Structure 1
Amino acid sequence: SSVEKFRCASKILIEKIIMFFIQNGSFNQGNSPIVYDGLVGGNVTIYCPVAEESQLEFLYFQKVVDGKSVFLNGYHSKPLPTQLPNTEMDQNHTMMHIYRLNLSDSGEYQCFYRYKNAASGNLYEVQLYLNVTALFSKPETSVRCREESGVPSDCNVTCHSHNGLSGKRMEWNVLGNDNRDMWRVLRNDESPSRDELVSISSTANFNCSVGEVKVSCSVDTFTSEIVSA
């Protein structure tokens, strides 16, 4: 189709531009990368710091994947086809929005640009780095108690949380009587949830014979509601 032909021609044009300036040593390199942070499922905008008073001939973003630069989105006299479906260039052609972030979006990015009618004709390069992480959901709790003569003797409290990074564990918060002889963690579980994320749960047993115990659990920045055991 005409769109596919245009996309192919645009890609070849960009590759030729890069190779020409690499061979002629026109890149400005050596600066530390600009670092951006994002959350899985969220959005981030990465910016190429160009001189606002100067007109651009072209500007485009790439991502380094397995040591190779992959074209994402950009501007060359008129908008180029979007190569990555979750990216969008802003109207000023200096920022790229990335939507619905995944862990795989983490990594090195590059911005290349050249000014119109620049005497030097230099192609400028800006190094960028995107760090995408994930936060567990607010923990949910469930309580199961065993009774003796109608009075709770001990209770198992379980906390569940979803879609976070592997290797984290639930923290228990015991209000008031924090005697470790009165409670213990029975198990901690981790299971895949989606993409590269996991769900975790933790179950603790509380001795209720000495009175009611109020507890909550925490992971990342979230703490569950307080429950009684």
Structure 2
Amino acid sequence: MTDLSSGTPELFELPRERAEIVPGAVHVPDWLGLEDQRELVLRCREWALGPAPMRHVVLPGGGRMSVRSTTLGRDGAPYRYLRTGEHERAPDMPPWLSALGRRAVLEAYGPGSPDARDHRPDTALVNFYDAAARMGMHQDKDEASAAPIVSLSLGDACVFRFGNTQTRSAPYRDIELRSGDLFVFGGPSRYAFHGVPRILPGTGPAALGMKGGRLNLTLRMTGRAGPAR
């Protein structure tokens, strides 16, 4: 297995298997190929520069997040706390990214799932974690929709803590998410508390050219009526 302290894989690394962590929460290792990962990294760099630049967000309660974030689609709604300027406009949600989100839910749940048939993400959050960044346990409750959340990982691996729907504390599971991994949670796990207690520096593919850190894209349906604009 990979030596996470050095980021150097052993000669014969065993393939990782997909797993349903709890009902509704599915981990698919290595879902994105290297070329797709490279393309997403390039797009994230473009989004990070504007028109809604990536920044350390100050939450409504006054806390400053250690990750840097930006958003796509819906002018940032319902994530108004990500904006600092009154006239700052979030980039459009690209149709190809929405289609990727639908493919992800199909991969996780299968074509027979109603969630998979009807899934059309209209917004995305893009987070960058440096080696010291963390994400506390939280629920994704800003959306009016209870559609599944799609999470894509790029760059350094992380410890992803996936908990229960009642409390930030145990029981929870710690899962290693590596570059290219897909994690989808919906149904009975849609409002589970989750967070990132640790980044594993030096574990990202050198071919991505990221020079450290982790990018995470979460694709969501806001449940807002009408067109995105």
Please tell me whether Structure 1 or Structure 2 has the larger radius of gyration of its CA atoms.
1
TM-score, structure 1 normalization = 0.26
Q: Larger % of strand: which?
A: 1
TM-score, structure 2 normalization = 0.26
Q: Which has the higher contact order (CA 8 A, sep 6+)?
A: 2
Q: Larger % of helix: which?
A: 2
